[in-house]
A and B are shown apart, each in its own frame.
Chain A
Amino acid sequence: MGIEVSDLSVARGGIKVLEGVSFKLAPDRVLILRGPNGIGKTTLLRAIAGLQPPLGGTISCAPDSLVYAAHADGLKATLSVVENLTFWAQVFGTKDISPAMAAFDLTTLADRPAGALSAGQKRRLGLARLLVTGRPIWILDEPTVSLDVDAVAMFAGAVRAHLAGGGSALMATHIDLGLTEADTLDIAGFRAKAPAPDDFDGAFL
Chain B
Amino acid sequence: MIALLIRDLKLAMRAGGGFGLGLAFFLIVVTLVPFGVGPKSSLLAAIAPGILWLGALLACLLSLDRIFALDWEDGSLDLLATAPLPMEAIVSVKALAHWLTTGLPLVLATPVFGLLLNLPLAGYTPLILSLLIGTPALSVIGTFGAALTVGLKRGGLLLSLLVLPLYVPTLIFGAEMARRGVAGLDITTPMSMLAGITCGTIALLPFASAAALRVNLR
Q: Which residues of A contact B (CB under 8 A)?
A: 49-53, 64, 66-79, 83, 87-88, 90-93, 129
The chain B residue with its CB closest to the CB of A67 is B82
Contact A75 B17 (CB under 8 A): no
Closest chain-A Cβ to B25's Cβ sits at a distance in Å of 22
The chain B residue with its CB closest to the CB of A47 is B218
A167 and B81 CA atoms in complex are apart in Å by 22
Contact B76 A51 (CB under 8 A): no
A66 and B78 CA atoms in complex are apart in Å by 13
Contact A91 B85 (CB under 8 A): yes
> Cβ of B36 < 8 Å from any Cβ of A?
no
Q: Which residues of B contact A (CB under 8 A)?
A: 2-4, 7, 10-11, 14-17, 71, 74-85, 217-218
Contact B10 A52 (CB under 8 A): no
Q: Which of A50, A64, A79 is in CB contact (< 8 Å) with B10?
A: A79
Contact A78 B3 (CB under 8 A): no
**Residue numbers in B under 8 Å from A78 (CB-CB):** 11, 14-17
Contact A91 B78 (CB under 8 A): no
A71 and B15 CA atoms in complex are apart in Å by 26
Contact B82 A76 (CB under 8 A): no
Given the known interface contacts A74-B74, A78-B16, A83-B10, the answer about A92 and B217 at a Cβ–Cβ threshold of 8 Å is no
**Residue numbers in A under 8 Å from B15 (CB-CB):** 78
Q: Which of A66, A77, A87, A90 is in CB contact (< 8 Å) with B82?
A: A66
Contact A64 B82 (CB under 8 A): no
Contact A74 B3 (CB under 8 A): no
The chain B residue with its CB closest to the CB of A49 is B82
A53 and B215 CA atoms in complex are apart in Å by 10
Q: Which of A51, A75, A90 is in CB contact (< 8 Å) with B74?
A: A75
Q: Which of A52, A68, A76 is in CB contact (< 8 Å) with B11?
A: A76
Closest chain-B Cβ to A198's Cβ sits at a distance in Å of 27
**Residue numbers in B under 8 Å from A92 (CB-CB):** 83-84
